[in-house]
Homo-oligomer: A and B are copies of this chain.
């Protein structure tokens, strides 16, 4: 039996989602000037000078799962560790109650590419268990990495609405993604991608991998200008085979993104007021 073909992937930003409740009772007692200072301290702490070094998104989450979600993009886990540690020293941090978080790395799954190269190498007589195969695949992936580096280390979409959820591919006793053949998996991923492309221009999606880092296999961030788009897109996808039979979804978070300079307004509860 041939070993299963594992799809290649390319990695980008290290990502840390941090969700917090705000202790509004204490926050309300903070004088206006101090509130400004508190907001500035956070924004400065989490800012990066060069967009090539990362970015930080600020989201007002709806409901009790959190008031504030920070999405921190950095080049390495070390950078994330530094950012988290620095944030823990801010005055705002003392007014927050952590609810949850998510650790992941931006990931471009390469089902098509893996399949294509695999077939090419197979024709050359290469087999996945040979070092020459591994080297050829790695070389090809390196080429791809150059091509898609803009997506691996891209800017955070500015869209008003943000939806985040983690997910798994099911390993059920009947339906098991990981025992399906590479061809079937590639086919389902391709069908899945088609639906996504129908929403091009309406939704921007950032997939990050979290195997080995957090409790689900992937994190999904969606950005849109109309929150109904999230519902329509995910509902439509739920009927494709990759989702209907093989997807398991974690908790969903939805919120309103605001630019860092509005953090002060958010904390003083004047955000969005006319």
Instruction: Report which A residues bind B (CB closer than 8 A).
Output: 3-4, 6, 9, 11, 14, 16, 18-19, 21-22, 24-25, 28, 60, 62-65, 67, 77-78, 80-82, 84-86, 88-89, 93-94, 98-103, 105, 160-161, 163, 165, 171-176, 178-179, 209-215, 222, 227-228, 230-231, 233-236, 238-241, 243-245, 247, 251-252, 254-256, 266, 269, 271-273
A62 touches B103 (CB 8 A): yes
B89 touches A244 (CB 8 A): no
Most buried by B among A9, A22, A88: A88
**Sample of 28 A–B contacts (CB below 8 Å):** A6-B235, A11-B231, A16-B62, A18-B64, A19-B64, A24-B88, A24-B93, A62-B103, A62-B213, A77-B227, A77-B254, A77-B256, A78-B256, A81-B255, A81-B271, A82-B271, A86-B269, A88-B269, A103-B254, A165-B212, A174-B174, A178-B239, A179-B241, A209-B231, A211-B231, A211-B234, A215-B251, A215-B252
